[in-house]
Structure 1
């Protein structure tokens, strides 16, 4: 039995509540996402051991009943979810209260804005390579800050020193040509 079949009653219960609101159902990331004016408000999904109601900007919810949790503490910033293991524990009134608050937050434009670091910490190995080759260093400095950030993150995320060295060799021609690491994916 697949998880959507296993949790059919719980999913239908949540859908019935959500359908009483002004939210519009869409499908994104393989799940049911409910939006307001194209803004993601909530999502429902079935997992192995529970059904979950996800709030995209749940960090702004009051959570007066303390039902919400962060799926990945330290990684997930705004997303919060409420887990259920049976229809018996689903309180329609409380669920609707959370949903209505999420809708109001969306209407007010409350959205999590990721913090962008102003300072770029260049990995030592990249700094040495840029200083050792003037043309490479000059070309890197002439790149837009977001392109510099892409390269810095690409080098910094390599675990092994050898991988960092090979990545620097790989990006050199791209930097000299004034290209960003992900330019080929941009339209």
Structure 2
């Protein structure tokens, strides 16, 4: 399924009723950070000082949180996936299926590390 073009995160979430509870939990965590929320490539993207750090995206069989510099994260929980090995070097994602819930504390930890890495 191609991503519909959303004007804001709430509208994007409305395009994916199957992932609404996942996206609402993810969005709530991201709203409590210093990241700036915008729409890029038709989907929510969260930036720090103009740099793309995190995105959220919905697909038919899963939704995901994308970490644009995810290869730099420690990933002690071994949950980050390179969706396109050999094609992308830095991008990693946490995928959620319909039966999974979002561990918001774990997500907060990955987001905090992402922000700290960007601050240097």
Give the TM-score taking structure 2 as reference length: 0.84
Closer, same or farther: CA 19–87 of 1 in aligned 2, 3 Å: farther
* Correspondent of 1:31 among 40, 43, 53: 43
* Correspondent of 1:77 among 78, 89, 93: 89
Q: Work out whether 1:4 is the aligned partner of 2:4.
A: no
Q: Which has the higher helix share?
A: 1
Alpha-carbon shift at residue 99 of structure 1 (Å): 0.3
Give the TM-score taking structure 1 as reference length: 0.55
Q: Work out whether 1:45 is the aligned partner of 2:72.
A: no
- The CA RMSD measured in Å over matched residues stands at 1.5
Alpha-carbon shift at residue 47 of structure 1 (Å): 0.6
CA distance in 2, matches of 1:86, 1:17: 19
Question: Which consecutive segments of 4 or more residues in structure 1 shift more than 3 A?
Answer: none
* Structure 1 alignment gaps of length 5 or more: 109-187
* Correspondent of 2:76 among 59, 64, 81: 64
* Correspondent of 2:32 among 14, 20, 30: 20
The structure that has the greater radius of gyration is 1
